Structure 1
Amino acid sequence: MEKWIEECERSLCMSTNQRGGFDAYLAALAPKDCGGQCTAIWPAGALAYRCRTCQLTTSSAVCVSCFKAGGHEDHDWIQYRSTSGGCCDCGDPAAWRVEGCCPAHQPDRQVVPLEQLLRPEPRMLLEAVLEAALARLSECLDQCTGSQCSADRRRDALLLCRWLQRFASLGPVRRSMSDALRRALHEQQLQEEGQAIAGDLQRSLEFLRETTSVMQE
């Protein structure tokens, strides 16, 4: 899976003539004025912040960068070490007060469309890569539902999740990810419906054969 991800990253960078590597490619898709929710994800053991002045739920929290830029110095805040990981709520009006959001994630700031950041060909490539990654992740998860899931499959699923999270943290890319996921779910639904219809037809044919056999007797 690592090799496949590396090939995807190389292709994406080449599509935009990005010579600074994959990190630079992602940075170009996250302009500082893009707006939208932060959604930075931190693992267990990472530092994060809660602000009783700004949070709207007991579980709301923000990452270190958003906290430092959000003007919380005189607020009722705490720094804590996450025990199970979390996701930044900066920019989410359902979880964090607008006044406490950092300048980069103001909820009323419109997200820059991906069409303004990428030409058609690189954008189509990105959408194809996201769709392929989601399909591979779905395949890994399907094979990890039972007790016989291999360690390699678990590792592949984790790698894909972490890689896709990097895209999900970019406001302009989230729409493409949701579209790719919706298409994948639609195709899966069509496949399941097709299998159900095929099963009904098979049962109908068996019934007809049995009925014909009885009538001939």
Structure 2
Amino acid sequence: MFEWKLEDLRLYNQKGGVFIGDEKIYDCENTLSMEEKIDFVDKMQDGKLSYVLALADKFAEDADSLPKTQYGNIKDNSFKAWIRKNDLRGVLDNNFEIGRIRLSPERNIKTIINKGDYDLYEEYIDEAFHRQLKKCENEEKRYFLEHDEYSILKRNFREKSNIYNTTFGVNVTFCSDGKTCIYEKENSRLQREITVEELKYLLGKYDELEHLINKITEETNIVY
């Protein structure tokens, strides 16, 4: 049984391992059984993986009996009627791309065994498990950023710099990847990440500035 706890950061902290292109392959993908993978995804998605698999089995049983076109394809109206009758939870598209599974991975129920263009795995269960793990890791990353001291300091520093429109003469850039860097004034390509100590120092300066502004505000008595 695969147990996942957000605060453990188990997936986020996985070091090394196998990568396929830019895709991280989690250690548990190679150790768990199909049943364990199904159980985990079901737990995270209200039993929908088992439901989709049962629908796929039902379609495979009924496919031969459904009316076909002269080219041997199942007629759209017949397919829609089959979906209305069997898909009680409404996970299949019945309007545009008929039979598309509206869950990740979005394969068609008719061709669920076929690997999609953006899939890593041919087996639907493996792909569904992998994508659920990716979602879990993204949740872990957000949790880490919300609770990690360095991340909190960076966030507070950025907020203060926006409020007071100054970084006290320090050349600071806020990068799109979340980094906060100090750069060389004469050559902005030369930069390094700001340290915890520097962030605490600058946040202390904002506290001093805020105190000074409050003091001056209290001392100023100019009215209409």
Pick the structure with more helix per residue.
1
Instruction: Select the structure with the greater relative contact order (CA < 8 A; seq sep ≥ 6).
Output: 1
What is the TM-score of this pair, normalised by structure 2?
0.27
